[in-house]
Amino acid sequence: LFRSVKGVEMMFDYEKGKDLVVNATKPLGESYYSVVARAFDEGWVDMYPSKGKRSGAYSNGSAYDVHPYVLMNYNDDFDGVTTLAHEFGHAMHSYLSNKNQAFANADYSIFVAEVASTVNERLLAKLILEETTEKNARLSLLMDILDGFRTTLFRQTQFAEFELKIHEAVENGQPLTADVLNAMYKDILYRYYGHNEGICNIEDLYAVEWAYIPHFYYNFYVYQYATSFTASVALGQDILNGTPGATDKYLKFLSSGSSKYPIDLLKETGVDMTSEVPFVKAMEAMNYYMDEVEKLLGK
């Protein structure tokens, strides 16, 4: 189910990674990318592994009158530089919200938090694609980008559907045993991956995958990854295409904290999450990357 596609391992040392993240954010204007550049010089980032340091990657901007901090363990690969861009999306969201909002409204919801991080991923992917011309390296990069669509848009929706079924079962008085949960999850896997149609074989062992997903303990968290990813694709396209006002609206969005409901903040950027348009744009972007893969493979 999670078999990787063999390709060229693209390597980016930390200095190259910093340059890529700064340059990728230049479409957002000097007021944004200059702060990112300064952040590296001012020690906002703890990037190297050390004894006792936890794994993972995080941004913390909860200290209202102090700049955000990014905690991660940088790896010299595409995932490492993407994670760096992702966490700086969070950091800049906190920086701009804290700078422009009173303390009570400076924090923001998860629904919009992952928009800020994944817009940076979109900008970074565009830049690296432009700089990558070697066929196999470009193919590997495109497959990594497509895997982001699979894991963030489709897989998180799959998780959210499972979570909804759990709650509906409880509301209907159905006991939740391990066998019941396994059966629910396996049925969803079958439908998402086309098991019964012979598209992808799902082994029985995957039925228990749900048990290691900690997000299910945070009610209705995972669906927001998919909605945020969808919104970020639409926003990223508008910014990169130079749509009039797109960058200014996005920076205002990052500066708004929780001053309005998340759905309204996104509407002000031109992304209406109550319509199908953002999803259609996300599918168009995914199809573009798939077409690029097929061109490289000569199909």
CB atoms within 10 A of CB 29: 14
Q: Please indicate whether residue 197 is annotated as part of the active site.
A: no
Structure token digits, residue 150: 């699979």
CA distances from 59 to 83, 84, 114 (A): 11, 10, 12
- Taking only Cα atoms into account, the Rg of the chain, rounded to an integer number of angstroms, comes to 20
- Of the candidates 15, 87, 168, 197, the residue annotated as catalytic is 87
Going by C-alpha positions, the residue among 21, 53, 51 that lies closest to residue 37 is 21
CA–CA separation, 105 and 119 (whole Å): 22
Q: 121 to each of 98, 110, 257, 267, 295, how far by Cα in Å?
A: 22, 17, 21, 21, 23
CA within 13 Å, CB half, 134: 7
Which residue bears the tokens 């102090």? Answer: 66
**CA 295 – CA 292 distance, rounded (Å):** 5
Active site residues: 87
